[in-house]
């Protein structure tokens, strides 16, 4: 009776890189060869939060990884299967000692999958070792020592990828395994206007940013058009793990030390830390996926309007900046932070729709969909945390301030392209004579505004501020601050003020 060869598995998920990958680093310390595995899991392929643009980005990332692995005579075993059936199939050919992966701060469906996989590993005498991903810790009760930890994590040395011969399963063995699996095609349409996946492309974005694009970071960050080059644009590469936050942080810190443009890089580094803060928050409050973190807002009832939601999704609300943003997002997968806040504010405040109704469309459209950012930000912009400043963004004010020449609007709402700039910002102010002169008919060539800004803002502001006075909202606000901020800061916390943006 032959003995099965013993191997380790590196289960790749949102860590699609070889460099500074804790799971791979742990696997290479073992005496057994390792197989790198990626599963296109049907449970996620069918999940409402994902879309083809995500899977294409992942496929491009896997192709890029395999090009790098070719030097080591290895490749990733890419299969279409949930993880437990995939490991079961591998157990027919190998004895599996360890599975290495990162701790995933994901959707509830992935958390439940991980609990099932943990039981599976125990029953099959497999050791599953998870490593911290990008400094996010599991099981924290408060944030008293979190700042010190995250700075220490960022300062630690990066894991290098330098496997010795035979540490990775040979490509011929992997090709033999492929015969037993459903192997998905990794081909994608390269003509689509999305950022392409893979570490090689991600590093090019980071390099061009740190070589000069960052100079305009602070002046362009809020501009819907200029932000497309003034911001780093590396968020998808962080979200899907083509680069680690630690290496980005260290690269930016090194450039800052030698640069005369320190403030833009300080702002960029600050936003990297805030990203970790929100993901850590989601890790500690997993119920945020479906319900507001502040239980006092659970009593807030809003009528669902599919007509409003369709107009918002398709960019036909009658508010040019909102419509330009939604059409741009649908087409390219990217919006800068302020415009994301703007469209969520309009949806939850002016259209008075539940933030939960926006979750799947936005997650499908955002190429950089990251659950730990997505749900906390939705709730913050909807004004349902009780601890953050209530911001009800004015789309016309933001349009005039951040797209003064209406270049972004005219690019993405072409039916307004021939109008004078003031009318491109606000077609609804055109008189019948001005419409006739411009050969433009409001309500036919472009929608009338579907809601009144002033009255809808008043309704939302009144309802939210009344609710913020309730004992449960106040009690929950204290709980949230106590859990998610260092207690010395919590003791001096100020009551957030309203702001009309």
Confidence of residue 2 (pLDDT cuts 50, 70, 90): low
Give 35-55 pLDDT, tens digit per residue: 999 999 999 999 999 999 999
Nearest C-alpha neighbor of 55 from the set 162, 194, 175: 194
Rounded to an integer, the average pLDDT of 247-255 is 98
CATH number, domain with residue 231: 1.25.40.80
495 plus 371 within the same structural domain: yes
304 plus 350 within the same structural domain: yes
Alpha carbon separation from 389 to 139, 171, 338, 464, 498 (Å, rounded): 28, 54, 15, 12, 6
pTM across the whole model:
0.95
218 plus 362 within the same structural domain: no
CATH number, domain with residue 372: 1.10.579.10
Give 437-493 pLDDT, tens digit per residue: 999 999 999 999 999 999 999 999 999 999 999 999 999 999 999 999 987 554 434
341 plus 474 within the same structural domain: yes
The domain of 210 spans 199-284
354 plus 230 within the same structural domain: no
pLDDT exceeds 60 at position 497: no
**Secondary element (H or E) of residue 199:** helix 199-210
Tell me what the pLDDT averaged over the chain comes to: 95
CA distance 6 to 91: 10
Phi first, then psi: give them for residue 425, nearest 5 degrees. -75, -35
Final residue before a domain boundary, out of 178, 207, 237 = 178
Cβ partners under 8 Å of residue 457, min gap 6: 349, 350, 392, 394, 500
Is residue 194 assigned to a domain?
Answer: no
Confidence (pLDDT) at 500: 39
Confidence of residue 176 (pLDDT cuts 50, 70, 90): very high
Final residue before a domain boundary, out of 269, 284, 299 = 284
Final residue before a domain boundary, out of 284, 299, 323 = 284
Beta carbons of 194 and 236 less than 8 angstroms apart:
no
CA distance 38 to 79: 7
Nearest C-alpha neighbor of 224 from the set 411, 423, 415: 411
167 plus 216 within the same structural domain: no
CA distance 315 to 310: 8
Confidence (pLDDT) at 495: 36
22 plus 99 within the same structural domain: yes
pLDDT exceeds 80 at position 494: no
Confidence (pLDDT) at 351: 98
Confidence (pLDDT) at 59: 98
Give 124-172 pLDDT, tens digit per residue: 999 999 999 999 999 999 999 999 999 999 999 999 999 999 999 999 9
Beta carbons of 33 and 212 less than 8 angstroms apart:
no
149 plus 211 within the same structural domain: no
279 plus 293 within the same structural domain: no
Number of compact structural domains in the chain: 3
Is residue 191 assigned to a domain?
Answer: no
327 plus 356 within the same structural domain: yes
**Secondary element (H or E) of residue 117:** helix 108-123
Is residue 233 assigned to a domain?
Answer: yes
Confidence (pLDDT) at 162: 96
**Secondary element (H or E) of residue 424:** helix 421-425
CA distance 73 to 371: 35
Is residue 185 assigned to a domain?
Answer: no
Rounded to an integer, the average pLDDT of 87-113 is 97
CATH number, domain with residue 44: 3.40.50.620
Beta carbons of 100 and 70 less than 8 angstroms apart:
no
Rounded to an integer, the average pLDDT of 244-268 is 97
270 plus 312 within the same structural domain: no
Confidence (pLDDT) at 486: 86
Is residue 193 assigned to a domain?
Answer: no
Is residue 52 assigned to a domain?
Answer: yes
Is residue 266 assigned to a domain?
Answer: yes
Mode of pairing for the β-strands spanning 34-39 and 6-12: parallel
484 plus 378 within the same structural domain: yes
Rounded to an integer, the average pLDDT of 339-359 is 98
């Amino acid at each position: 009776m032959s003995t099965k060869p013993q191997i380790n598995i590196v289960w790749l998920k949102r860590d699609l890189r070889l460099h500074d990958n804790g799971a791979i680093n742990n696997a290479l310390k073992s005496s057994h060869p390792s197989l790198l595995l990626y599963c296109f899991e049907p449970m996620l392929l069918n999940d409402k939060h994902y879309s083809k643009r995500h899977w294409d980005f992942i496929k491009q990332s896997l192709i890029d990884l395999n090009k790098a692995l070719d030097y080591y005579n290895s490749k990733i075993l890419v299969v279409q299967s949930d993880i437990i059936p995939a490991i079961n199939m591998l157990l027919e050919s190998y004895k599996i000692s360890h599975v290495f992966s990162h701790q995933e701060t994901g959707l509830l469906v992935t958390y439940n999958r991980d609990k099932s996989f943990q039981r599976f590993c125990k029953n099959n005498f497999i050791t599953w070792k998870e490593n911290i991903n990008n400094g996010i810790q599991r099981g924290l009760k408060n944030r008293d020592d979190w700042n010190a930890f995250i700075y220490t994590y960022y300062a630690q040395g990066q894991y290098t990828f330098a496997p010795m011969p035979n540490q990775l399963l040979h490509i011929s063995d992997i090709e033999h395994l492929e015969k037993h699996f459903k192997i998905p095609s990794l081909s994608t349409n390269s003509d689509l206007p999305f950022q392409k996946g893979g570490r090689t492309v991600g590093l090019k974005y980071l390099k061009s940013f740190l070589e000069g694009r960052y100079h305009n970071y602070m002046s362009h960050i809020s501009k819907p058009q200029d932000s497309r080059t003034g911001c780093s644009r590396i968020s998808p590469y962080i979200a899907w793990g083509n680069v680690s936050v630690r290496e980005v942080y260290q690269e930016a810190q090194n450039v800052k030390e030698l640069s005369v443009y320190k403030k833009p890089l300080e702002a960029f580094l600050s936003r990297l830390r805030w990203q970790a803060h929100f993901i850590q928050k989601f890790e500690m409050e997993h119920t945020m996926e479906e319900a507001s973190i502040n239980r006092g807002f659970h009593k807030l009832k809003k009528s669902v309007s599919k007509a409003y939601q369709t107009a918002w999704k398709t960019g036909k609300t009658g508010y040019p900046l909102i419509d330009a943003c939604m059409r741009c997002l649908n087409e390219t997968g990217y919006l800068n932070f302020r415009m994301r806040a703007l469209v969520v504010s309009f949806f939850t405040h002016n259209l008075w729709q539940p933030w939960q109704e926006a979750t799947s469309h936005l997650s499908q459209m955002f190429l950089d969909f990251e659950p730990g950012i997505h749900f906390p930000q939705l709730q913050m912009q909807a004004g349902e945390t009780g601890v953050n400043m209530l911001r009800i963004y004015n789309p016309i004010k933001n349009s005039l301030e951040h797209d003064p020449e209406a270049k972004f609007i005219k690019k993405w709402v072409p039916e307004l392209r021939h109008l004078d700039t003031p009318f491109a910002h606000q077609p609804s102010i055109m008189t019948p004579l001005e419409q006739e002169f411009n050969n433009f008919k409001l309500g036919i060539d472009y929608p009338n505004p579907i809601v009144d800004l002033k009255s809808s803002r008043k309704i939302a502001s009144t309802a939210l501020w009344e609710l913020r006075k309730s004992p449960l909202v106040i009690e929950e606000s204290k709980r949230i601050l106590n859990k998610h901020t260092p207690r010395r800061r919590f003791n001096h916390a100020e009551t957030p003020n309203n702001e009309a943006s």
